[in-house]
Structure 1
Amino acid sequence: MLTGDRDLRTPADTVMDWKRHGTQDVRFRAYEGGHFYLTEHIRQVAELITADPADPAGPLGRVSIVDSGR
């Protein structure tokens, strides 16, 4: 799950609530910025979503894993 760390429309705790809709652990990443953080971080987000999830040195290895609670 991705969000902006200063997003007033969708604060991090609201984004984190989405984890209850799945059965797997989820990865959470907050980028610097507000609701439109994506426009300022498009390269980093593209690298994140195309990264090899098994590579611990890649961008997914630096993302917080949140237990789904199930």
Structure 2
Amino acid sequence: MPVVGGRTLSVDELLSYIRLNINSLVDTRIAEFSPYDDGEAAVWKSGSPLRGRIGSRSCGSRRSQDVPAGPQL
């Protein structure tokens, strides 16, 4: 697990970090994520985001075939 500030994150803390900081983990020139509206933002940022919805938006003029493929799982 990752260490932040000298402390190992739990699984729940890691998932929360990813959820709340997703745009800092992706290239926002290609896409970014945001809640659908203010009500969804409150759910998404809460300690219990189950059923919270976010949407993605493509940015720039890159086409999908220009985006390098990730590793095959």
Q: TM (normalized to structure 2)?
A: 0.26
Q: Which structure's relative contact order is higher, taking Cα pairs within 8 Å and 6+ residues apart?
A: 1
TM-score (norm 1): 0.26
Larger radius of gyration: 2
